Amino acid sequence: MIDEWYPVGLFSQLDAVGRRTALMGEPIDVARDAEGNAKVTGGNGRALPACVRYGHVWSSLGTPQKALFAIPEADQPGRRFVDVGVVRVRCSPLRAVENFLDIAHFPFVHTDLLGAEPHTEVQNYKVEIREDEVWATQVKFYQPQAAKSASGGITTEYIYRVPAPTCSVLYKTCPPRPSEWDVITLFVQPLAEDLCDVWPWMALFDDTTSMTDLIHFQQTIFLQDRSILENQIPRLLPLDPGMEIPTRADLTSVAYRRWLKRRNYTYGAQLVAQ
Ligand SMILES: [Fe+2]
């Protein structure tokens, strides 16, 4: 995991003074240099890899073997790109992603927004490994207020992608433009094994909602998740089967854990029962 790219801040908020943050336990500084490029410095003063994509600065403590994963929709004309900002969560970065993949909690945690009783059933969907990423497709769920642009309840369809150990990309029914998908991402910065900064980012078709309302809607959702995440036990994500009992709703979570384990992505994971 040390050779992967991680989000370390919003590019739009960078200045020459920069911000001090952390990556996998190491203090780092993220700033804008004289040419306007993002500059990331490690704890011992060494220059770290840096790139700017999807509104964020990305860095790595190691040597990334490939470019940051692609989100083709980020270059599609007509979309609005929303830097939602940061939510600090006292949980494993892997748990933050796992929670994002879980739809069964919608009616209970995001009541009257992403779900509502009695519409609690998770219908069958497909999970597969596609080009070394976890993909869950044909996920359908009834939502009272699926997006700021939705008027009234609709059955929303979801596609989830996990292209990197602490990142997920969600494609979701786009109420004003049925032929397209809204894109909502979860970029997680691992500060430590049990602490993370979550940077949601969106690429939406929505010409009417104000930027403030779009940000506020998404922050409301993530603050609801935070209270759940900070109370999960064990704190680290168990990767071994049998430690938590999976249900049909957890198919994506099970695939995610297997994928992490097979690739030895274990920062933030609990490998043996404690
Ligand atoms: Fe949630």
Percent over 90 (pLDDT), the chain: 76
Cα-to-centroid distance, 105 and ligand 1 (Å): 7
With respect to residue 1, please indicate whether it lies within any of the assigned structural domains.
no
Domain span at 211: 75-270
Residue 257 in any domain: the answer is yes
**135 in a domain, yes or no?**
yes
Instruction: Tell me the Ramachandran region of residue 146: left when phi exceeds 0, alpha when psi lies from -120 to 50, beta otherwise.
Output: alpha
> For the stretch 43-82, what's the b/e string if a residue is b when 16 or more beta carbons lie within 10 angstroms of its beta carbon?
eeeeebebbebbbbbbbbbeebeeebbebebbeeeebeeb
30 & 117 share domain: no
CA of 229 to the centre of ligand 1 (A): 9
Please report the pLDDT score of residue 122 as a whole number. 83
Q: How far is the CA of 44 from the centre of ligand 1 (A)?
A: 37
pLDDT of amino acid 200: 96
* pLDDT beyond 80 at 124: yes
The verdict on residue 64 lying in a domain is no
Ligand 1 centroid from CA 25, angstroms: 26
**153-169 confidence digits (pLDDT tens):** 888 899 999 999 999 99
Q: Indicate whether 22 pLDDT > 70.
A: yes
Same domain assignment for residues 131 and 242: yes
How many domains does the chain divide into? 2
Cα 257 to ligand 1 centroid, rounded to whole Å:
18
φ/ψ (deg, to 5) at 28:
-135, 155
How remote is the CA of residue 84 from the centroid of ligand 1, in Å? Answer: 15
> 249 alpha carbon to ligand 1 midpoint, in Å?
14
Task: Give domain status of residue 66, yes or no.
Answer: no
Res. 245: pLDDT tops 70: no
Residue 36 and residue 84 in one domain: no
Residues 132 and 209 in one domain: yes
CATH number for the domain including 192? 3.90.380.10
pLDDT exceeding 70 applies to what percent of the chain?
96
Q: What is the CATH number of the domain that holds 48?
A: 2.20.25.680
Q: Which two tokens stand for residue 176?
A: 């004003």
Calculate how far, in angstroms, residue 178's C-alpha sits from the geometric centre of ligand 1: 24
Q: Does residue 67 fall inside a structural domain?
A: no
The chain-wide mean pLDDT, for the chain, equals: 92
- Taking only the tens place, the pLDDT of each residue in 178-214 is 899 999 999 999 999 999 999 999 999 998 999 999 9
In terms of domains, do 109 and 244 share one?
yes
Same domain, 41 and 167: no
Task: Tell me the H-state helices in the chain.
Answer: 93-101, 106-109, 211-229, 251-262
Q: 173 and 219 share a domain?
A: yes
Domain annotation covers residue 50: yes
Distance between Cα 31 and ligand 1 center (Å)? 31
Between the CA of 96 and the centroid of ligand 1 the distance, in Å, is 9
Residue 243 has pLDDT above 80, yes or no: no
- Report the predicted TM-score, pTM, of the whole model to 2 decimal places: 0.94
CA 180 to ligand 1 center in whole angstroms: 23
- Does 22 lie in the same domain as 47? yes
Q: How far is the CA of 216 from the centre of ligand 1 (A)?
A: 15
Same structural domain for residues 137 and 179? yes
Protein residues placing their CB within 5 Å of the ion ligand 1: 225
Least reliable range by pLDDT among 83-87, 97-101, 110-114, 200-204: 110-114
Alpha-carbon distance values, 52 to 9, 12, 56, 258 (Å): 10, 10, 6, 30
| pLDDT, tens digit, 9 for 90 and up, residues 27-84 | 999 999 999 999 999 999 999 999 999 999 999 999 999 999 999 999 999 999 999 9
**Which of 141, 168, 149 shows the shortest CA–CA distance to 71?**
168
pLDDT of residue 131: 92
One-letter amino acid at 28 equals: I
Q: Rounded CA gap, 189 and 58, in Å?
A: 9
Residue 218 lies in a domain: yes
Q: Ligand 1 centre from 164 Cα, in Å?
A: 19
Whether the predicted pLDDT of 273 surpasses 60: no
| Residue whose C-alpha is closest to residue 87's, from 234, 186, 19 | 186
265 and 199 in a single domain? The answer is: yes
More reliable by pLDDT, 55 or 272: 55
Same-domain status, 48 and 179 = no
Looking at the structure, do residues 45 and 83 belong to the same domain, yes or no?
A: no
Ligand 1 centre and the CA of 233: distance in Å?
A: 17
Report CA(114)–ligand 1 centroid distance (Å).
8
- What is the rounded distance in angstroms from the CA atom of residue 218 to the CA atom of residue 113? 11
Question: How open is the CA angle 88-92-97, to the nearest 5 degrees?
Answer: 85
